[in-house]
Chains A and B, each alone.
Chain A
Amino acid sequence: MSAPAAAAFRPPDASQVAAYLEAFPRRSPSAWAARAPLVLLLAVVAATLIAGFIDGPGATLLPWLALGAMVTGFVWLGRRNRDRLRLAAGVERVSELIARRHHASALRQAWMMLPATVRLPALHVRLVAAMGQALAGVRRYNAALRCYDDVVGDLQSDHPITVQIHIARALAQLHTEHLSDADDTLRRLRGSVDIEGHHPTAAAYATARLLQAIKTHHYADALDDLADSSTLNDDPWLKRLRPLGVEAGYAYGMLTLCYAELASRAEPDAAGGLWSAARRWWGRATLLLSGAAVTYRLPELRRWVEPGGELHDAATPNPFPPRGPTPAGATGLMSPASWSAVAPRGIVGTAAPEGGGVFS
């Protein structure tokens, strides 16, 4: 399967991703290519030694021919190395596009680059993981899940980036209603993530747990996880989620939803405090992100925050209204400490419906 250089690119669906990954699986690098410099050197030494035992013009020419072959070989190796560096730079560009919310462009580039990386497993893994992020960014969660499933087996356990990929996978599982799989993924992470720490990975884990509680309608349990919902003590959440930067706005949106759902079911005397907590969290969420960006990722929130909803007037006015397409993200919670893999925070363009082609 080759990727034609077409301008019109639509995000692939899960079956297309699976077929593509099957067509271009990563392979171990060639053992011969790895040993080429040593082989070249040994060949020259052998030719030089042989020349010492023979007579005639061959004795004079052979060492020089071998030396010429060695120089040619090293030039070829250098070119091959430069090609590899170009590919690595391409993967880096894909990461940057994701960080800058250009998920569709990132996906297109990653898709086209993938065949060239099959003999470079480390780059292949990075590219597939980036494809997963970009697919989640355009809400193709099933397709993203295929990508994450492809890479998780080849990752070192306990490495921060590995943990973040697992968290992104759990989020995709939650969005696709694979709730027991997500529970399994999050349960396994419990030992490897310092969930009490104040770093992006712990914050991303806390957010995944929040989304899990929302998807399973255990709103009170979500709040009890960290803060005491009876006293509406929200400082621990701020402390926990702060390392996500503005991305924490999505998590604040989740807290808004939890409080709003609880308030709508509470007795009138308890509902007031819960509504006021929901308003406070929605104010914080919209201080960091636009309301549209939060509800893009969390559609369940729309009934409370859109016109007619109880929280409609609780949003913080933004002096810089969003320009261009609606920013929104999906797996932006995969926000590592490293710069280049910084979280995606939105998409450019509207979400494509599930199904449909890759190049059209």
Chain B
Amino acid sequence: MSDATPPASTSPTSASPPARAAGPRRTLPPFSAARLHRRLALDAAVRFAAVAAAVVASAVLLWLGGPAGTVLAVALVIGVLFGLNASAASALRMLPMLGPMTLVDPDAAEAALAAALRRRPLPGWVRLALVGRWAALRHRQRRFDESADAAQAVVAKLRRPLLPMRPQLLLLIAEARLETGHVDAAHAALAEVIQLPRDLQENLQHLALQTRYELAAGHAAWAVQHAGNRIAWAELMPAPLSATVHAMLATAADRTQHSRLASWLWARVELLAPPDAVAPLREGRWTGEPVVVPTLDLESGSPEVPQSGITDA
């Protein structure tokens, strides 16, 4: 079983049968948590079997072979180690590129992701990192049900090298659940995020989603309660998101009869957002580009300052 099965016809109007011989599939199938679990179990079994076979074969060679057997045993151990890690290494090399590709060219990102997920046997954490990217891609494509399911499946199985991804995945789940109207599920994700260490970007995204949740759940008073602090954070956001958060707080102030605060916030919105964006914000339409843009990098998520000539090894 593969995460990326051979392609169906690419054109919806084409009458040709599924082109099984046309090469590897360039799109991902609908996400299935059960299939992910099967893949993880199969990968683990294959890796265990390969290591066990190498150990047994090495023991036999050492016992029977003398110096030549020793050479063969060492060569076998090295071969198995490199063989098992080769697929993981190429998938890991692709991982940092998938983030920018998701933003710039989602189709190319999907094809690369499908190719990476076809490799086997992958270490479990590498496959989970790739599925995290899958969730980010679907989020970008506004396929929120699938993105939330994929992120939820990854969060449930997160282990050590991937733990820094947890806040971003939970924020992604929260936004996807808010987009699909599952306010309680969004609250559960937001409540979990608040207990985790977060960087500045995650803090700002959390603030935006928390405010949106409070408005959706009818808790406008909560949003207004700490408005001063929230405004200070919103000032650190890029202008469009800052305008959206200001508009949410203004709406909350309107609903709770804080008219002076509301008019001050709306005046700020009019400076932060272009005129054609203010009307939808006044109508409570917060959805534009998704707030959560997960980097999901295992190392520092910041952009490198571009250099010419010298680069890090």
Q: Are A340 and B239 in contact (CB under 8 A)?
A: no
Q: Are A155 and B308 in contact (CB under 8 A)?
A: yes
Contacts A121-B310, A242-B272 given; does A63 touch B71 at CB 8 Å? yes
Alpha-carbon distance A65/B59, docked complex (angstroms): 17
- Cβ–Cβ < 8 Å partners of A319 in chain B: 260-261, 264
Chain B interface category by residue count: 35 or more
Which of B20-28, B74-82, B127-135, B148-156 makes up part of the contact surface?
A: B74-82
Q: Are B303 and A341 in contact (CB under 8 A)?
A: yes
Q: Are A126 and B304 in contact (CB under 8 A)?
A: yes
Which of B36-44, B180-188, B198-206, B208-216 makes up part of the contact surface?
A: B198-206
Q: Are B308 and A156 in contact (CB under 8 A)?
A: yes
- Cβ–Cβ < 8 Å partners of B282 in chain A: none
Q: Mark A322-348, 1 if CB is under 8 A from B, else 0.
A: 010000000000000111111001000
Alpha-carbon distance A161/B301, docked complex (angstroms): 16
Q: Does B236 contact A (CB under 8 A)?
A: yes
Contacts A121-B311, A122-B311, A284-B271 given; does A64 touch B67 at CB 8 Å? no
Q: Mark A224-242, 1 if CB is under 8 A from B, else 0.
A: 0000000000000011001
Alpha-carbon distance A122/B313, docked complex (angstroms): 10
- Cβ–Cβ < 8 Å partners of A66 in chain B: 74
Q: Does B231 contact A (CB under 8 A)?
A: yes
Q: Does A19 contact B (CB under 8 A)?
A: no
Looking at chain A's contact residues, is the secondary structure mostly helix, strand, loop, or mixed? helix
Q: Mark B40-78, 1 if CB is under 8 A from A, else 0.
A: 000000000000000000000000000110110111011
Q: Does B104 contact A (CB under 8 A)?
A: no
Q: Are B78 and A67 in contact (CB under 8 A)?
A: yes
For A59, the closest partner residue in chain B by CB is B67
Q: Does A246 contact B (CB under 8 A)?
A: yes
Q: Are A48 and B235 in contact (CB under 8 A)?
A: no
Alpha-carbon distance A167/B265, docked complex (angstroms): 31
- Cβ–Cβ < 8 Å partners of A95 in chain B: 302
Alpha-carbon distance A99/B302, docked complex (angstroms): 13
Q: Mark B259-271, 1 if CB is under 8 A from A, else 0.
A: 0110010011001
Alpha-carbon distance A92/B310, docked complex (angstroms): 20
Q: Does A288 contact B (CB under 8 A)?
A: yes
Q: Mark B287-305, 1 if CB is under 8 A from A, else 0.
A: 0000000000001111111
Alpha-carbon distance A123/B311, docked complex (angstroms): 9
Alpha-carbon distance A322/B208, docked complex (angstroms): 22
- Cβ–Cβ < 8 Å partners of B74 in chain A: 44, 48, 51, 63-64, 66-67
For B268, the closest partner residue in chain A by CB is A287
For B67, the closest partner residue in chain A by CB is A59
Q: Does B30 contact A (CB under 8 A)?
A: no
For A29, the closest partner residue in chain B by CB is B313
Contacts A51-B71, A52-B71, A60-B70 given; does A287 touch B267 at CB 8 Å? yes
Q: Does A28 contact B (CB under 8 A)?
A: yes
- Cβ–Cβ < 8 Å partners of B12 in chain A: none
- Cβ–Cβ < 8 Å partners of B264 in chain A: 287, 316, 318-319
- Cβ–Cβ < 8 Å partners of B272 in chain A: 242, 245-246
Question: Nearest Cβ in chain A — how far from B257, in angstroms?
Answer: 14
Q: Are B71 and A239 in contact (CB under 8 A)?
A: no
Q: Does B228 contact A (CB under 8 A)?
A: yes
Q: Does B274 contact A (CB under 8 A)?
A: yes
Alpha-carbon distance A34/B303, docked complex (angstroms): 22
Q: Mark B224-244, 1 if CB is under 8 A from A, else 0.
A: 000110011001111100100
Contacts A60-B67, A99-B200, A245-B242 given; does A122 touch B78 at CB 8 Å? no
Q: Does A179 contact B (CB under 8 A)?
A: no
Q: Mark A70-104, 1 if CB is under 8 A from B, else 0.
A: 00000000000000110011011001100110000
Which of B77, B261, B274, B312 has the largest number of chain A CB atoms within 10 A? B312
For A95, the closest partner residue in chain B by CB is B302
| Residue in contact with A339 in the complex, picked from B200, B268, B273, B274, CB distance below 8 Å | B200
Q: Are B300 and A88 in contact (CB under 8 A)?
A: yes
Question: Nearest Cβ in chain B — how far from A88, in angstroms?
Answer: 4
Alpha-carbon distance A123/B78, docked complex (angstroms): 34
| Residue in contact with B302 in the complex, picked from A48, A64, A88, CB distance below 8 Å | A88
Q: Are A340 and B68 in contact (CB under 8 A)?
A: no
- Cβ–Cβ < 8 Å partners of B313 in chain A: 29-30, 33-34
- Cβ–Cβ < 8 Å partners of B307 in chain A: 121-122, 125, 154-156
Contacts A156-B306, A161-B303, A338-B303 given; does A243 touch B239 at CB 8 Å? yes
Q: Are A248 and B271 in contact (CB under 8 A)?
A: yes
Q: Does B309 contact A (CB under 8 A)?
A: yes
Q: Which residues of chain A (145-161) have a CB below 8 Å from chain B?
A: 151, 154-157, 159, 161
Contacts A155-B307, A245-B237 given; does A85 touch B70 at CB 8 Å? no
Alpha-carbon distance A200/B313, docked complex (angstroms): 32
Q: Which residues of chain A (286-331) have a CB below 8 Å from chain B?
A: 287-288, 316, 318-320, 323
Q: Are B260 and A345 in contact (CB under 8 A)?
A: no
Which of A49, A123, A246 has the largest number of chain B CB atoms within 10 A? A246
Alpha-carbon distance A340/B67, docked complex (angstroms): 57
- Cβ–Cβ < 8 Å partners of A213 in chain B: none
Contacts A245-B272, A246-B235, A342-B236 given; does A89 touch B306 at CB 8 Å? no
Q: Which residues of A pack against B, CB within 8 Å? A: 26, 28-30, 33-34, 44, 48-49, 51-52, 54-55, 59-60, 63-64, 66-67, 84-85, 88-89, 91-92, 95-96, 99-100, 120-123, 125-126, 129, 151, 154-157, 159, 161-162, 165, 200, 238-239, 242-246, 248, 284, 287-288, 316, 318-320, 323, 337-342, 345
Further pairs besides A88-B299, A126-B302, A242-B239: 15, Cβ < 8 Å: A29-B313, A51-B70, A52-B67, A64-B70, A66-B74, A91-B302, A92-B300, A100-B200, A121-B307, A122-B305, A122-B312, A126-B305, A155-B308, A246-B272, A340-B303
Task: Name 29 A/B residue pairs within 8 A (Cβ), A-sorted.
Answer: A26-B310, A28-B310, A34-B313, A49-B71, A52-B68, A60-B67, A85-B300, A88-B299, A88-B300, A89-B299, A92-B199, A96-B199, A120-B312, A122-B311, A123-B312, A126-B305, A129-B305, A154-B309, A165-B305, A200-B239, A284-B271, A316-B267, A318-B264, A320-B231, A320-B232, A339-B201, A340-B200, A340-B302, A341-B303
